[in-house]
Structure 1
Amino acid sequence: MTSQKASTMIRVASVPQDQVYIRHLEPLQEQDRGSLRLPDPIHAPGSQSEQSPWWPPLMLTPEWVRDNHQRFDLMHIHFGFDAVDPQTLRNTITELRHFHKPLVYTVHDLINPHQPDATAHRQMLDILIASADALITLTHGAAAEIAAQWHRAAHVLPHPHVVDFATMNRLRRRREVLAVSSQRRTRHIGVHLKGLRANISPAILEPLARIVAGIPDTELQVNIHRQVLDPSNREYKADLAGQLLEGERQGKWNLEAHEYFSEEELFEYLGSLDVNVLPYRFGTHSGWLEAALDTGAAIVAPDCGQYVGQHASVAPYRWDYDRVDEDSLEEAVKHQLALSSVPGMDAEERKRQRMALAEAHERIYLELLAR
């Protein structure tokens, strides 16, 4: 796989291991693998997240490092450190130093999209970015922010594919067929509010509805998780529920309330959109953006964070505090509707990228272990 092939497999304590970004850093062929990521330690039943059995991550405790230091060569942190307090994280890093285990940290989020107050996340970044033996991030913009704020250099390695290659091929071929068809069709602009996490704002809906209403043969599709509209659920948002239902009644948008999508459902949904508009007020990078591009959906993203830096085809719009700049949003939507080719990389390009990412990570690991 690389010219510096390790004589033995590099054992990586990956935090986490079973997550799509991390899984897709592995080479496609087993024989090309130069590193092995330890499986996530699973908590006792009832103590972990229903969505993520590895949550909270046991690897990020000094006790786990002490008990397992002979099982791994280095630690690579991606997500999950917000589940521990700063002192526990410092103690874990101290144990890594004691046992001479290098630490790699991939800076996915300079701002946590789930936290309206950035203070706690910034405190953890101060610890991790200062302590890591190597830093990785996903965009050049994020690397520039890291250099400016912490005076550290970061390797820039892009986000790998999210959608599996067979599904990617099928959905992108379907778009190509539609693109050359002479049959007139309705184009779909989609906004997914998910569970209305901290960085998602429904303020985009009304201006976007006005824009879509002025474009022939287009419809606005608004999706949201069912619990936000359910009066019996503790996550119910009465004002938003009223706005969404009234907007649907007035014909401003088609509303779909549903449970969390399965992976298959998510990919089919993204594949049904011509343009996917991200309603984010803050954040850094987006795996959702990558999944949508894998299906060939054009992306309209806010100019905050580093979303626009993830791919050259992404069209930006602006937020003015908590209000959407409608002119920039309209320009971005119309630009994406006028694209003459399917945006994003096809499956073959994503395969080549995945191999390059696997090799780049292995090089970083080998360099640290050789010191």
Structure 2
Amino acid sequence: MPFKILSLPARHPYMRKFNDGVNIEFVNPDTDLFSQQQYDPEVIQAKYPPESYNIVHIHFSFDVVPIDRFRNLLEYFRSVQKPIIWTTHSLECQRIKGYGNGEYQKLLFDYADKLISPTEGCKKYILEKYGKHKRDIDVIPLGFMISPGDVERIKKGISKDKNLFTILIADFRENREVIQSVINFLQCSTLNDCKLQLIYKPINPYKSSTNDLNEVMITFYELTQNPRIINVSLPFIPNELITEAFLKSHAIILPYKWGTHSGQIEQAKDCGCHVVVTDVGYYKEQWDKINTWSIADNKVEEFPTRYTNCLMEVYKKEPLKPAGYSRQEELQRIIQQHVVVYKNLISTHEQK
């Protein structure tokens, strides 16, 4: 019998691959209960009674829930004696000082019965910041984001374009410096023959709080009118569209000011893209082939030169090949690592 998991969220490509129905079965497939605002205990209890699942596995999106209501939800899971696992996808460590996500992470550290870290570096950080957890922290890699079967199917008829770089923005988040990254790309004369593809959700030219014009979004819009920019703007960005874009691209750019891990690193592996990213987080541990430029010393005046030098070095490189089915075996190992965690956690929980 597969382990029955309440996965928060469940529909993201990272989580969806675990729902194989043999080892693991999600009781809430194709949902993102946090983003769908279905996180109150009464709602969870009505839709997913405690007897319907073995474990609650929390990944991300929890910081869209008001902190008090998130605490109430964790208390509910504890009251119905459901073990909680937290996979530490993103952390306070690389974020802007005082960013509120740290409150949520401390709650999860305290309430979770088990922690999983995608990298050794992240595990080390958790131990240094929060101390020893009630159980050992397991390190389990993220694995592929795009099904190898989908990669093999979609790549037919698609050729790499040496002159195509891509930034997958989706939502405009605080941790991304997109505008300067676009400006510096366009100003780099070595890349004059290159195009930059931007994939994002429709922008709002007004500030949501005051209804005044949002100068940042106006600037972004003006940049997107450059003939070297390819705009892909949709309210919902299909996974297949992202896969096609990555399969065509020579490289992807991750303009992160801070970070921990990135699913886009895994997508780049899946689709054979070079990666240009800042030296924050644990991206190098995810994939040693990434290309980094330094922001750690905060010498802002040197950032444009470092960034464009990295772009030019990547441009010289030969295209990479999509991984495709070569990542399938890796997934089976990762699933079995999760199965061991679930089995041990349920066993010790039942002995209480």
Q: TM-score range with shorter-chain normalisation?
A: 0.7 to 0.9
Q: Could you tell me how far apart the structure 2 residues matched to 1:324 and 1:220 are?
A: 24
Q: Which position in structure 2 is the counterpart of 1:58?
A: 38
User: What is aligned with 1:258?
Assistant: 233
Equivalent positions of 1:36-51 (< 5 A) are 36-39=25-28
Give the equivalent residue in structure 2 for 1:49: none
Q: How big is the shift at 1:240?
A: 4.9
Structure 2: where are the runs of 5+ without partners? none
Percent sequence identity over aligned pairs: 17
- Superposition misfits of 4+ residues, deviation over 4 angstroms: 115-118, 170-175, 229-240, 246-249, 321-324
Matched-pair contact (CA < 8 Å) for 1:61–1:92:
yes
Where 2:260 maps in the other structure, the secondary structure is coil
**For the residues of structure 1 that align with 2:196 and 2:141, how far apart are their CA atoms?**
29
Q: Counterpart of 1:325 in 2: which secondary structure?
A: helix
Which residue of the partner structure matches residue 219 of structure 1?
194
Distance 2:10 2:80 in 1: 21
Do the aligned residues in 2 keep the contact of 1:299 with 1:315 (CA within 8 Å)? Answer: yes
Give the distance between the partners of 1:56 and 1:243, measured in 2 at CA. Answer: 28
**SS of corresponding position for 2:172:** coil
Structure 1 residues 205 and 17 mapped into 2: Cα distance closer, same or farther (>3 Å)?
closer
Deviation sequence 1:24-76 (CA, Å, 0-9, x none): 1244xx5xx2232211597xxxxxxxxx5763453563773598222222211
Instruction: Report what 1:316 is aligned to.
Output: 292
Query: CA 1:56–1:117 in 2, change beyond 3 Å: closer, same or farther?
Result: farther
Say if 2:85 and 2:113, in contact at 8 Å, map to a contact too: yes
Over 3 Å counting, the alpha-carbon distance change for 1:155 and 1:62 in structure 2 is farther
Cα distance in 1 between the residues matched to 2:115 and 2:207:
45
Q: Does 1:335 align with 2:313?
A: yes
Task: Name the amino acid aligned to 1:335.
Answer: E
Aligned partner of 1:122 in structure 2 is: 102
Asked if the contact 1:14/1:75 (under 8 Å) is kept, the reply is yes
Indicate conservation of the 8 Å contact 1:41/1:57, yes or no: no
Which deviations, in whole Å up to 9, do the C-alpha atoms of 1:174-216 show, x marking residues without a partner?
67x76xxxxxx752223344442222211122322333x2257
Gaps of 5+ in 1: 1-7, 43-51, 179-184
- Check if 1:148 corresponds to 2:131: no
Residue 10 of structure 2 is aligned to residue 17 of structure 1: yes
How many equivalent residue pairs? 338
Partner residue in 1 for 2:117: 137
Report Cα offsets for 1:236-272 as digits up to 9, x if no partner.
74555456536855x6x32425224322222212222
Structure 1 counterpart of 2:24, one-letter code = S
Residue matched to 2:140: 157
**TM-score for the superposition, normalised by structure 1:** 0.77
- TM superposition score normalised by structure 2: 0.81
With 237-246 and 227-236 compared, the bigger mean Cα shift is at 227-236
Q: Residue by residue, what CA displacement relative to the aligned partner does 1:117-165 show, whole Å, maximum 9, x if unpaired?
A: 7542101100101221111122222112111111234222122222232
| 2:88 paired with 1:110 | no
Tell me which residue corresponds to 1:368.
345
RMSD between superposed Cα atoms in Å: 3.5
1:69 pairs with 2:75 = no
Distance 1:205 1:59, change over 3 A: closer
Q: Deviations over 1:3-36 (max 9, x none)?
A: xxxxx43222221222211111244xx5xx2232
List per-residue Cα deviations over 1:203-236 (Å, max 9, x = no partner): 122322333x2257x4131425473386899797
Q: Bigger shift: 73-82 or 353-362?
A: 73-82
Partner of 1:299: 275
